[in-house]
Structure 1
């Protein structure tokens, strides 16, 4: 779960900066802000990192080097920054031990694109897992193929297995360079799995990545006629605000079809927009616009400056001026895996006080935190005239935790399913097909009748990494700009 960069009132931003780093009051004629000390240009990136984290970081008051009184003079502050010529090292040094998700990049353009669902890909979305009995050899297994990519036209599909790249066996020490390195093209060495062993089948699939691919997160939306019941099925792979209207249209079709139950497939959804999560929750449930979906908790400085309108996300009745196509359901079935995270988990947590949420699959990631994209400008926002033209560093630190309407937020170990069912390497099935194991189990739970017996799991599989880890937002969730405006003191 991540937040788009906040656009606070600049007067209030300056007040916050002055109140938290009052020691930095000596002014030079080159300073961007007439009230805040800025070190030499060779430390401007480090200065941006420290000040941004000092103001916004959720654990600011628990990191001693981010304390408001950490430095007694400007010279001491500059000397501290000078100890970290590599900005990545400074960011790491200022991170809290509990922080699993904050991120920094030397090219914020990738970060901006990722917020829009834009990234480089060859079209194969996959998980990585360890081979049986091996401590270092791994294999990849295909989740799904993105439409309009190089992979779409190749002989590769869901459930296919690969154990090597360009003739090199995959291990936990070389996979990153082989799959996510600078090479835009590579060849996957395919394999079969039989009786506990992986063997090469001689097939090789050469794939080429394309830049600026935009993923539509609505991967499958369909109404299933099952045992004389109409059941909606939505496979939703990312909370991307640009597709909220299309998502609302999908629910309009569900309404027109007269569905009585919904299966929400979030098994490969790593998160995204908090606002999109609230929109989706409003399409599912029957809550009024006065009901709280989720509340965010920031550090003490930000909480003091924000009003409830910025911390509370309520259910809503419209999107971009159009009525939300709410289903008014009293239960929802959610399919999850160990890659379900962030804004996906918000759906489970935010809906739970109001309706029955039946989770099928495996335990989720456990990310109850939100982050924000910060840029080197007075407002820390990208579209600010004061954006520093000298570099392209940006960061995505954790700045808040969430709780639902009854105050529950303790799910850092993930949400455990009511019905545990792992994906099966021997039977991955076809996504959206009524015999795909997770979907079949949900249909069985809804109707009490199975089309045929669900096969016993013979090779349960769970990924430890996947193809989405290299995207800047990874499993973050974000809040839209207008939600994080600092109010008058």
Structure 2
């Protein structure tokens, strides 16, 4: 009987019989697959350096499928546009999976402990700033307090923190709670625990009016370009605060201004434009503020998607009476994007002096957000140029006077090194003869040293952005 079955099977399979080809069941597309494809397609559509991108249209999935995430796809695309030395021009494009940028810049909402740190020398870590209204602020923490211990660890030296690629420090700063031992300027110590929570960002950290001889000098520390307009085009609390501040400066007869942007990584373009108008001299009238460069096919792309974004030239529209003759910008490598746009907008129209650490970050380009499956894509889509056509500061803007951040003094303190240098110029019409070596570990003021390389890493933890919403 077995032989009969075998004979039947053999006779059914003649030489002309075609066996069916076995195929693996096709897997359904995952959201990440679709996101990877979309990152390529939309980045290509509005990327500033569109012509440098690879052509994957013949097999989008075959190309994006080589990457394990949409973030990895974008990181690959960022490598194609290069400068004359072969360095990628795009250090900036990113995916925001949690809507953090929109919350912080458009709505002014933050969720953190509310403090940042910086190294004063190779061993000493300090609080560099505290957000008003944050958990750190409510606990009484101030800029200029030394950090002695974090989560039980007291060895916070540069060498120790670098040994694990900053993982310990960054994990502590990004956690849900943190234990700190801090030393105040008077030598007393305080131990506290902070819990992460949400709060409203207050970008004006401090403001002052100084009297220098017969001159009135304004000062304000501006920490982020939170939008001056909401989603419906109405004024936000930031616009109101800026208006009140400038009215105060006008009333005091301020002639020169110190704008402290040392940690300001940017934000909304509309705020940079508004502040440019407030600080510009009356002579700007309605003249050109800046222009945008975009890829030549962007308008067609936006039209096809029924999206309207205006990239036409932007002109000044000054309405306040403040008429400054000189502006001193205090900067570090963390000064970026919308901060640099503000500086670049004003440089052709008023005497601008940059005081600080070497050069700014170098980001003359910006984004608009494109939501894909609940994820915001920020791919570089425009570059700005001021009224005289300058906008290629990808390596940063060099300072006129090299002065390091003095972490032992609070914002607005006349003895803080950067502020003191600006006030010296107000008084004397020139910079002091204080010389500072640009080398990373050169002694300054006796035993003080600086660690710019590490501080650059710390400062750049915050997103560097110039955003159109």
TM-score range, shorter chain: 0.7 to 0.9
TM-score (norm. length: structure 2): 0.76
Unaligned runs of 5+ in 1: 1-37, 133-138, 194-200, 318-323, 377-387, 482-489
Distance 1:310 1:232, change over 3 A: same
* 1:417 equivalent in alignment to 2:405: no
After TM superposition, give the deviation of residue 251 of structure 1 in Å: 0.5
* Structure-1 separation of matches of 2:175 and 2:60: 41
* 1:249 equivalent in alignment to 2:244: yes
Q: Which residue of 1 aligns with 2:312?
A: 311
Q: Which residue of 2 aligns with 1:29?
A: none
1:252-263 superposed matches below 5 A: 252-263=247-258
2:464 is paired with a residue whose SS is: coil
Q: Which residue of 2 aligns with 1:366?
A: 362
Aligned mate of 2:466, from 456, 477, 487: 477
Distance 1:262 1:397, change over 3 A: same
TM-score (norm. length: structure 1): 0.73
1:354 is paired with a residue whose SS is: coil
Aligned mate of 1:110, from 100, 104, 112: 100
Contact preservation (8 Å) 2:269, 2:338? yes
Contact preservation (8 Å) 2:113, 2:197? no
Unaligned runs of 5+ in 2: 1-27, 80-87, 228-235, 303-307, 436-443
* Structure-2 separation of matches of 1:308 and 1:106: 23
* 1:222 equivalent in alignment to 2:208: yes
2:207 is paired with a residue whose SS is: strand
2:383 is paired with a residue whose SS is: strand
* 1:145 equivalent in alignment to 2:130: yes
Structure with bigger gyration radius: 2
After TM superposition, give the deviation of residue 312 of structure 1 in Å: 1.9
1:457-472 superposed matches below 5 A: 457-458=445-446, 459-461=448-450, 462=452, 463-466=455-458, 469=461, 471=462
Q: Which residue of 2 aligns with 1:379?
A: none
Contact preservation (8 Å) 1:232, 1:254? yes
Distance 1:43 1:154, change over 3 A: closer
After TM superposition, give the deviation of residue 297 of structure 1 in Å: 0.9
* Structure-1 separation of matches of 2:257 and 2:169: 39
Q: Which residue of 2 aligns with 1:436?
A: 416
After TM superposition, give the deviation of residue 308 of structure 1 in Å: 11
Q: Which residue of 2 aligns with 1:293?
A: 289
Contact preservation (8 Å) 1:142, 1:161? yes
* Structure-1 separation of matches of 2:215 and 2:120: 37
Contact preservation (8 Å) 1:278, 1:314? no
1:246 is paired with a residue whose SS is: helix
| CA-to-aligned-CA distance 1:248-279 (integer Å, 9 cap, x gap) | 22101111111121111111211111221111
* Structure-1 separation of matches of 2:166 and 2:30: 40
| CA-to-aligned-CA distance 1:170-212 (integer Å, 9 cap, x gap) | 413263454446631112355799xxxxxxx995633324333
Provide the aligned length of Structure 1 versus Structure 2. 396
Structure of higher RCO (CA pairs closer than 8 Å, 6+ residues apart): 1
* Structure-1 separation of matches of 2:366 and 2:143: 31
